[in-house]
Chain A
Amino acid sequence: MFEWFDSDVLLQQLLLGLSNGMIIALIALGYTMVYGIIELINFAHGDLFMLGSFLALTLVGVAMNCGIVDPELMGASSHWWLLGTLVLVCGVFCGGLNLCIDHFAYKPLRRASKLSQLVAAIGVSFIIVNVGLFWGGLPMDILGGGGAAAAPKDFPHLVSDTNLLGEESFVVMTWNDVVIFVVTIPLMIALTLFVKFTKLGMAMRATAQHATAARLMGVDVNKVIAATFAIGGFLGGAASVLYANYNSTVSFQMGFRAGMDAFTAAVLGGIGSLPGAMLGGLLIGLVRAMSDQYVGSEWTNVVVFSLLVLILIFRPTGLLGLKQREKV
């Protein structure tokens, strides 16, 4: 009846959508946390994510050249420890960088209008894109990747490519899919517990609700904001390694797309809400995968952006966002 409809294809796209969706969700958490605290669309977050993946690529290249890992075995066997280290290192790198960006670019503008903060964030985003371009100009054939500075760079699979569902199965699921869930789900649980049960998490929720009131209650608001940027950056950095490993390519311009997907996810879920960002990320991943398959990949960005515009117009509080929502 439907020749184009094939349950195997659908399953494959579902898996692809879920995997990419988990990554988008991780980035979206960074947007939603910052927005929840200081109502700033941290435009540079997507580009920070891009920089994280460049660091990961460089580190993998260095590891290959120092003989720590064998380039021949990339994709054939799994390097769990390498992946774990990269997630940690890139997470810390992006977290630290986000902290610095907040300190130098946004903090002086805290009392300025919201729009001037947004303009500053766009400026930071452009600066980071240029850093990414120059990073790509480093001798990447030694450091991994190769090609011209502006060209997209290949990222090796750090874990095994063998199909977990058996060789003859049409649907391909590899450890590269599994590892995304293995990393993102614990991170999300840890974040939720952190925000719910620790003192700093409580301070975050208080600041999100009312910064002045929180300050009167003895919360060091600046410290809370800094911590938010650091945590958001860490999640973005972790996502960047997963993204590079899963999609096998990184480019200095990918931050814009990834950032817009993640922001759309955050808005879809209800900006300021943590479970909202996770749900939104999954949905955006699925929408992208389905649109790639059934609408045509050249229309996917139109679909996602139209979705963003429609949500903002008809339900600006998102799916899980409430008027009296608990932010961060």
Chain B
Amino acid sequence: MSQSPSTVHRPAGLLSRGQCILFGALLALPLLELVFDLGISAPTRFVLGFAIVGIGLNVVVGFTGLLHLGIAAFMAIGAYAFAILTCTIYPFQIGFWPGLLAALLIGAVAGAFLGAPTLRLRGDYLAIVTLGFGEIVQDLLKNLELITKGTQGINPLPTPWFFGATFASDTPKSWYFLYLGILLACTMLVRNLEHSRIGRQWFAVREDELAARCMAIRPDRVKLTALAVGAGLAAVGGALLASLISSTGEPGNYDFQISILALCIVIVGGIGSLTGVIVGALVMVGMNSILLPMLGQKLQQAGIGTTTSVYLAPDNYKYLLFGLALVLMMRFKPKGIVAAKEEDH
């Protein structure tokens, strides 16, 4: 907080210009499909789900400056909370929207639960604790078979409904628009938080904890809210992604690699910038879930066997791409593709 209060920038509208352009483009994406038969609105739903996770992680890493390496755990918590509360094999069956809301709340509580004892830790130690938490949650979900069905995962999950309309797997486009709407709501929520009192406190703690303390800000409490908001949004993202495939998948799916994918989304896109995070999700998840599988298919069609050689399956370059993305971004463009504006804060 280097500026005097009079220069603190107030947002004029609900979205910044960059965000308007981005959402306009995302809204127009399925229109593109009317002309070209790309079939990308179905996999792009995964991008939207991960973008919500990225927005949550951005609150923790970008706004508050805490390195979080276990965000996948909260995706798992969201997905499993959603599944247990909505799946037909459990007695609750509260439906899609209440389930989503419950995932948000349970995720936020879990985030606060992790945060409460760990906030006094130094930055890198906190990172390791979040990583450890991610591993513990995976193993817990795997081992508590009575509740979580172990490695089978919970399925089937309900598809969303919206004012009487239900969404089936053969209508990816309406599903896409629904998820885009949820992403828009999350973006506006976090944008409002960012420019409110709590958002300015996040930035203050990130920039200088001691100075923030001198301004009567309690860093513990501020970090706790950041962790809770981040975890809640990640849980929503996890629930949405699980609803897409109608299963939580096995607990091993929510591994360190997913946490790092989310971190890549934030760092590549632009740490601290909401527009950047959505761009990052488009780049990273687009590469991970759309481009690489598509490339693999093309290779297979071209008669180059992807099953025989490990080097010819594009999927096997995933780790390399994630790793290079992190190393090169840190080295050459630490602010990401869309750099957050300093004067915003």
Flag B298-334 by CB within 8 Å of A: 1 or 0 each: 0000000000011100001111101111111011001
Contact B139 A130 (CB under 8 A): no
| A218 at the B interface (CB under 8 A) | no
Q: How many angstroms from the CA of A298 to the CA of B138 in the assembled complex?
A: 11
| B208 at the A interface (CB under 8 A) | no
Flag B242-263 by CB within 8 Å of A: 1 or 0 each: 0000000000000010001001
Contact B121 A313 (CB under 8 A): yes
Which listed segment binds A: B76-84, B123-131, B169-177, B288-296? B123-131
| B220 at the A interface (CB under 8 A) | no
The smallest beta-carbon distance between B111 and chain A, in angstroms, is 15
The smallest beta-carbon distance between A285 and chain B, in angstroms, is 18
Q: Is the interface of A mostly helix, strand, loop or mixed?
A: helix
Contact B324 A127 (CB under 8 A): yes
Question: Pick the contact of A118 from B118, B127, B334 — CB < 8 Å?
Answer: B127
Which listed segment binds B: A22-30, A105-113, A177-185, A222-230? A105-113
Contact A108 B331 (CB under 8 A): yes
With contact pairs A126-B320, A134-B316 given, residues A316 and B139 touching in the complex (Cβ less than 8 Å): no
Interfacial residues of chain B within 120-151, with CB under 8 A of chain A in the complex: 121-125, 127-129, 131-133, 135-136, 139-140, 142-143
Which listed segment binds B: A7-15, A54-62, A202-210, A303-311? A303-311
Flag B62-95 by CB within 8 Å of A: 1 or 0 each: 0001010100000000000000000000000000
Question: Pick the contact of B323 from A108, A127, A150, A313 — CB < 8 Å?
Answer: A127
Give the residues in chain A near B260, CB-CB below 8 Å.
122, 126
Interfacial residues of chain A within 271-328, with CB under 8 A of chain B in the complex: 298-299, 301-302, 305-306, 308-309, 312-313, 316
With most chain B CB atoms within 10 A of its CB, the pick from A108, A114, A122 is: A122
With contact pairs A137-B311, A298-B143 given, residues A115 and B127 touching in the complex (Cβ less than 8 Å): yes
| A65 at the B interface (CB under 8 A) | no
Question: Pick the contact of B124 from A41, A120, A256 — CB < 8 Å?
Answer: A41
With most chain A CB atoms within 10 A of its CB, the pick from B140, B143, B326, B327 is: B327
Q: How large is the interface on A (under 10, 10 to 19, 20 to 34, 35 or more residues)?
A: 35 or more
The smallest beta-carbon distance between B196 and chain A, in angstroms, is 25
Flag A259-279 by CB within 8 Å of B: 1 or 0 each: 010010001000000000000
Question: Pick the contact of A308 from B65, B127, B128 — CB < 8 Å?
Answer: B128
Q: How many angstroms from the CA of A134 to the CA of B323 in the assembled complex?
A: 15
Give the residues in chain B near A131, CB-CB below 8 Å.
320
| B267 at the A interface (CB under 8 A) | yes
Contact B121 A312 (CB under 8 A): yes
Give the residues in chain A near B330, CB-CB below 8 Å.
109, 112, 116-117, 119-120, 123
Give the residues in chain A near B132, CB-CB below 8 Å.
260, 305-306, 308-309
Give the residues in chain A near B136, CB-CB below 8 Å.
301-302, 305-306, 309
The smallest beta-carbon distance between A27 and chain B, in angstroms, is 16
| A191 at the B interface (CB under 8 A) | no
| B164 at the A interface (CB under 8 A) | no
| B117 at the A interface (CB under 8 A) | yes
A-B interface pairs (CB < 8 A), number:
130
Give the residues in chain A near B140, CB-CB below 8 Å.
302
Contact A125 B117 (CB under 8 A): no
Q: How many angstroms from the CA of A308 to the CA of B132 in the assembled complex?
A: 8
The smallest beta-carbon distance between A280 and chain B, in angstroms, is 14
Contact A123 B323 (CB under 8 A): yes
- A35 to chain B: closest residue by CB: B124
Q: Is the interface of B mostly helix, strand, loop or mixed?
A: helix
Give the residues in chain B near A133, CB-CB below 8 Å.
310, 316, 319
Give the residues in chain A near B334, CB-CB below 8 Å.
112, 116
With most chain A CB atoms within 10 A of its CB, the pick from B123, B318, B319 is: B319
Give the residues in chain A near B117, CB-CB below 8 Å.
313
Q: How many angstroms from the CA of A305 to the CA of B127 in the assembled complex?
A: 13
Flag A112-156 by CB within 8 Å of B: 1 or 0 each: 101111111011111111110110110000000000111000000
The smallest beta-carbon distance between A52 and chain B, in angstroms, is 18
Give the residues in chain B near A267, CB-CB below 8 Å.
125, 128
The smallest beta-carbon distance between B305 and chain A, in angstroms, is 13
Give the residues in chain B near A122, CB-CB below 8 Å.
69, 260, 263, 323, 326
With contact pairs A41-B124, A116-B334, A312-B125 given, residues A301 and B135 touching in the complex (Cβ less than 8 Å): yes
Contact B310 A256 (CB under 8 A): no
Contact A123 B326 (CB under 8 A): yes
Give the residues in chain B near A137, CB-CB below 8 Å.
309-311
The smallest beta-carbon distance between A107 and chain B, in angstroms, is 10
Contact B327 A123 (CB under 8 A): yes
Q: How many angstroms from the CA of A4 to the CA of B316 in the assembled complex?
A: 45
Q: How many angstroms from the CA of A324 to the CA of B269 in the assembled complex?
A: 41
Contact A115 B121 (CB under 8 A): no
With contact pairs A133-B310, A260-B135, A302-B139 given, residues A312 and B128 touching in the complex (Cβ less than 8 Å): yes
Question: Pick the contact of B121 from A124, A150, A256, A316 — CB < 8 Å?
Answer: A316
Give the residues in chain A near B128, CB-CB below 8 Å.
41, 263, 267, 308, 312
Question: Pick the contact of A119 from B118, B122, B263 — CB < 8 Å?
Answer: B263
Q: How many angstroms from the CA of A202 to the CA of B94 in the assembled complex?
A: 66
Q: How many angstroms from the CA of A108 to the CA of B139 in the assembled complex?
A: 37
With contact pairs A109-B331, A115-B124 given, residues A120 and B319 touching in the complex (Cβ less than 8 Å): no
- 18 more A-B contacts (CB under 8 A) besides A109-B331, A130-B318, A309-B118? A41-B127, A41-B128, A105-B327, A105-B331, A123-B328, A125-B323, A126-B260, A126-B319, A127-B323, A127-B324, A131-B320, A137-B310, A137-B311, A298-B142, A301-B135, A301-B136, A302-B140, A313-B118
Interface residues of A (CB under 8 A from B): 39, 41, 105, 108-109, 112, 114-120, 122-131, 133-134, 136-137, 148-150, 256, 260, 263, 267, 298-299, 301-302, 305-306, 308-309, 312-313, 316
Q: Please name 6 pairs of A and B residues whose Cβ atoms are closer than 8 Å in the assembled complex, sorted by A.
A: A120-B330, A123-B330, A126-B319, A126-B326, A128-B323, A137-B310
